[in-house]
Structure 1
């Protein structure tokens, strides 16, 4: 029987809020028809999800939204990144294609086989990737019309020890890494994040941030910042329960939301 799982959810915030908390990698859900194309056994797949899921980040964003003075909007991926990764380029521009982790992954975190290398990505791109990208673009356009500007805060986490798939895993691994973009990340947005989270690093081990292609490099009123939180600061690795650190980080994220909402 085919499972029916919503691909994504836009959770409404305050009408006047310019902020979208984007949570792309928090889910473990894989529809049955997609699971059929993955070669890992059940136990191996669960281990892969333990390593690759940004566990508890949807809860983190929800808690932060509840603590914020002006409730931000939340765009949450309800499917695993092993279905499609909505933050990858779907073509040869994607650096992660070199390790089998473009928009449709063919390799695992430890560079094993996830799907056959000759898997046709088009059905997954058509069914999941493009509708997600279109919906996120529409959400940004709506916030731009309503608030006159948009601040996308991309909420991620990453392991305390580098995984083999990481292409830049030999750099610093701070408690909070801020990923920036030369066009879409103004200095005042970085300063607000520093104030909210305390000691942070920039663009290591992960860099860049997510902006829908319709606006990328074109619309300066759309600003963006990636917040990558090292997992040992709020949970048991890999794939374990959250601890008290999650509440502290939710408060910090709410502080950032309030600062950029003003």
Structure 2
């Protein structure tokens, strides 16, 4: 995996590389999939030309280096997947029909118009605003731009993630998806922001034992945790978390202050410690995953 712990070079090109990276387990596999959908940092030149914002401002929407925080997951037997493209370009934690009609030169087809609160806020599958709330684009986009991004990035990422989960359910009878993100340490009113937020869609996306084990593990290191507030889980958690079919999903939000300089976009001295904690969390969840009830018809683990 490419490292960004040293001073980062610009990652800009005329084309996005392969839309995701898959890292297989390094030991006998367990039914655990670890994902980072928002840590991609390959910015196409044509996107930068369309944007009124410079690259530094755009990068504040990334889950900076979260893929590297997850690097220990394959060592505990998990499959790992992370996106290579930035979320501000195409957000795979949104449904593909969460398109903002105010962004495009043409009218959206009726079946592609779903004005969810996220779309109304400018944070649809093709975001209209940056993390700071600033409009991204100089002008409206042709609708084909959205269609191309979805076909080239959104669809392959979800096809790969779905295939990973299905293969684990087929082999083990169950699968736990841990969808990992980072969150700003300040700025959300009415919340005394914790160190970690565990989102299980208010108890619907995974077995209670999974959330409880994650919370116990993190608190054993002295971290403050919340459940579901202010992040209960996005599209990925809610779409793939179907415990009745053996598919469990937990979203994990990590406070950026724990591992990075939020202004300078560089790792801080806590980075290695948080990577160690995340590996311990995955080891805990790997043990829980192997003990989950098996779905009928699964093969030998």
TM-score range, shorter chain: 0.7 to 0.9
Equivalent residue for 1:109?
Answer: 131
Q: In 1, are the aligned partners of 2:206 and 2:241 still within 8 Å (CA)?
A: no
- Output the CA distance in 1 between the equivalents of 2:23 and 2:238: 18
The structure whose RCO (Cα within 8 Å, separation 6+) is larger is 1
Q: Which string of whole-angstrom CA distances, capped at 9 and with x for unpartnered residues, describes residues 190-244 of structure 1? A: 111112211311122222152484x554753111111111111111113522223
Aligned residues: 249
Distance 1:88 1:94, change over 3 A: farther
Cα root mean square deviation, aligned = 2.3
- Output the CA distance in 2 between the equivalents of 1:135 and 1:146: 17
For 1:93-242, list aligned pairs within 5 A: 94-115=116-137, 116-120=139-143, 121-162=146-187, 170-181=190-201, 182-198=203-219, 199-209=224-234, 210-211=236-237, 213=239, 215-217=240-242, 219-242=244-267
- Output the CA distance in 2 between the equivalents of 1:48 and 1:33: 14
Distance 1:144 1:259, change over 3 A: same
1:249 aligns to 2:278 (yes or no): no
TM-score, normalisation: structure 1: 0.85
Unaligned segments of structure 1, at least 5 residues: 163-167
Equivalent residue for 1:165?
Answer: none
- Output the CA distance in 2 between the equivalents of 1:218 and 1:255: 24
Equivalent residue for 2:290?
Answer: none
For the residue of structure 1 that corresponds to 2:22, the secondary structure is: strand
For the residue of structure 1 that corresponds to 2:43, the secondary structure is: coil
For the residue of structure 2 that corresponds to 1:52, the secondary structure is: coil
For 1:81-96, list aligned pairs within 5 A: 81-91=87-97, 92=114, 94-96=116-118
For the residue of structure 2 that corresponds to 1:87, the secondary structure is: coil
Equivalent residue for 1:61?
Answer: 70
In the TM superposition, residue 28 of structure 1 has moved relative to its aligned partner by: 1.9
- Output the CA distance in 2 between the equivalents of 1:216 and 1:93: 23
Q: Which of 72, 79, 88 matches 2:78?
A: 72
Bigger Cα Rg: 2
Q: Which string of whole-angstrom CA distances, capped at 9 and with x for unpartnered residues, describes residues 150-204 of structure 1? A: 1111111111122xxxxx7543411111111232222211111112211311122
**Worse-matched range after superposition: 29-38 or 199-208:** 29-38
Distance 1:4 1:236, change over 3 A: closer
1:52 aligns to 2:61 (yes or no): yes
- Output the CA distance in 2 between the equivalents of 1:223 and 1:187: 10
For the residue of structure 1 that corresponds to 2:161, the secondary structure is: helix
TM-score, normalisation: structure 2: 0.75
Unaligned segments of structure 2, at least 5 residues: 1-12, 98-113, 288-301
- Output the CA distance in 2 between the equivalents of 1:110 and 1:240: 15
- Output the CA distance in 1 between the equivalents of 2:233 and 2:61: 18
